[in-house]
Structure 1
Amino acid sequence: MKYFKMNLKLFITLIVLVLSVNVFAQNKGKALLDEVSKKVKSYDNISIDFKYTLENLSENIKQETRGDVIMQGEKYKLNILGVTRLFNGSKLYTISPEDEEVTISSEGENEEDAITPSKMLSFYEDGYTYQLDIQQNIKGRKIQYVKLTPIDSNSELESILLGIDAQTKHIYNLIQIGKNGAKTTLTVNSFKTNQPISNSLFTFDANKYQDYYINNLD
């Protein structure tokens, strides 16, 4: 659990990458990534169930968890590690039942730790070189990988492999390799689009958390 908590922000980065691959459509993989980007942008909302795995053989670590996320534009509701992160377009609510605490923060562009799709896009836009990699047949599905390599030689990352289903043009998985030998894998188990969702899905209801400590960082 310690390692998962340390990698929560990393996981959100991966989720945003999964939903925003148009950032990387600039070279030989451009045609494929453009197709994925066009398809993603055509959806009103996207619901993903996923498996998140962390492996580090040198430290004899292998841990995994499951979660889900619903995104509509910049709004999202993410459930992972027993924590819910709810972003309504301007405020981020991090709800922790274990700690009985709700942390509220603004997601302005000038905030260093703000985790928004738009900021993640700009953060990664110039940070990688990328190229088509191998194609694999996984359970009858042809998965085409695009390899991303950090430009910064001081980066803690060795590379990222983004796997795309060649038929559906949906993301199958994302594999991140660290220079410390750690491998983080996000595998999409279910990818649904344009689902009926409540108008209040991204609205924080304070009445449900009257006994929680409210930590307002604004």
Structure 2
Amino acid sequence: MKNIFLVLTLVLLSNTTFAQNSEKAKVLLEDVYNKVKSYDNIYVDFKYVLNNAEAGINQETRGEVTLQGDKYIGNFFGSTQLFDGSKVYTIIPENEEVTIEDKSEDENALTPAKMLTFYKEGHNYEMDILQNVNGRKIQYVKLTPIDTDSEIKTILLGIDAETKHIYKLIETGKNGTTTTITVNSFKTDQPLSKTLFTFDEAKYKNDGYYIVRN
């Protein structure tokens, strides 16, 4: 009888600790979300690494994106992607080609506009390790997709404990692929050109670009 009582006590304490851990993670993510939403615009310069040792894949590149509301413009893997609020324009200078598509209807698609807020829905979360990175305290939160059919196993989100800005994202897929995004520079409320999120089709046509509409 004593053993049963001890087991029940341990289970109860474990569940209570997990609930408190989860609540702390939720509060931290809410702080990050509210901070992001308080800015008029955000500029992020980042390092991107894709690795799958078993498949012999190791890709590394640098990227940058400017966000304002749902609109964004980013440079990544030698191409530029622009979303003006209704259409997505992918500009590939190497091929002298522009692809124009309607906004993705997939609500689960992780677009640049969602890269700083994607964690808001669809995940269970708990506090993970706290790291010291060059004097900065980086608190990691572990996110696990609620959808069991998701191709993502876990996501570790590293958050600067002082600024509440995202510093690092480590996504581990069920196929063994690890994607790591590390923020090199995070700037807010920058002066932006009124035409930054406007696609000038005539300019690209005059430059000899092939325009593809999907």
TM-score (norm 1): 0.79
Moved more, 201-210 or 167-176: 201-210
1:1-218 aligned at under 5 Å gives the runs 27-107=23-103, 109=105, 115=111, 117=113, 126-210=121-205, 211-217=208-214
Q: Is the 8 A contact 2:70 2:113 kept in 1?
A: yes
Are the structure 2 counterparts of residues 205 and 77 from structure 1 closer, same or farther at C-alpha, using a change threshold of 3 Å? same
1:106 Cα offset (Å)? 1.6
* AA in 2 matched with 1:73: G
In the alignment, is the contact (CA less than 8 A) between 1:90 and 1:108 conserved in 2? Answer: no
Aligned to 2:18: none
CA deviation vs aligned residue, 1:112-141 (integer Å, no higher than 9, x gap): 9795747x97x8665321111111111211
Deviates more, 1:73-82 or 1:106-115: 106-115
How many pairs were matched up? Answer: 190
User: Which deviations, in whole Å up to 9, do the C-alpha atoms of 1:132-181 show, x marking residues without a partner?
Assistant: 11111112111001101123333322100000000111110000011222
Identity within the alignment, %: 59
Unmatched segments (≥5 aa) in structure 1: 1-25
- 2:6 corresponds in structure 1 to none
CA RMSD of aligned residues (A): 2.5
Q: 1:33 to 1:115 in 2, by over 3 A?
A: closer
Letter aligned with residue 191 of structure 2: P
8 A Cα contact 1:107 1:115, kept in partner: no
Q: In structure 2, what residue type is equivalent to 1:63?
A: Q
| Alpha-carbon distance in structure 2 between the residues aligned to 1:112 and 1:157 | 12
After superposition, the Cα gap between the structure-2 partners of 1:205 and 1:44, relative to the gap in structure 1 and judged at 3 Å, is: same
1:36 counterpart letter in structure 2: V
Mark the CA change 1:139 to 1:110 in structure 2 (over 3 Å): closer, same or farther: closer
Amino acid at match of 1:207: A
Distance 2:110 2:181 in 1: 22
Structure 1 residue 74 displacement after superposition:
0.6
Larger Rg: 2
Q: Distance in 1 between matches of 2:110 and 2:53?
A: 32
The secondary structure found in structure 2 opposite 1:168 is coil
Unaligned runs of 5+ in 2: 1-21
CA contact 1:107–1:114 (8 Å) conserved in 2: no
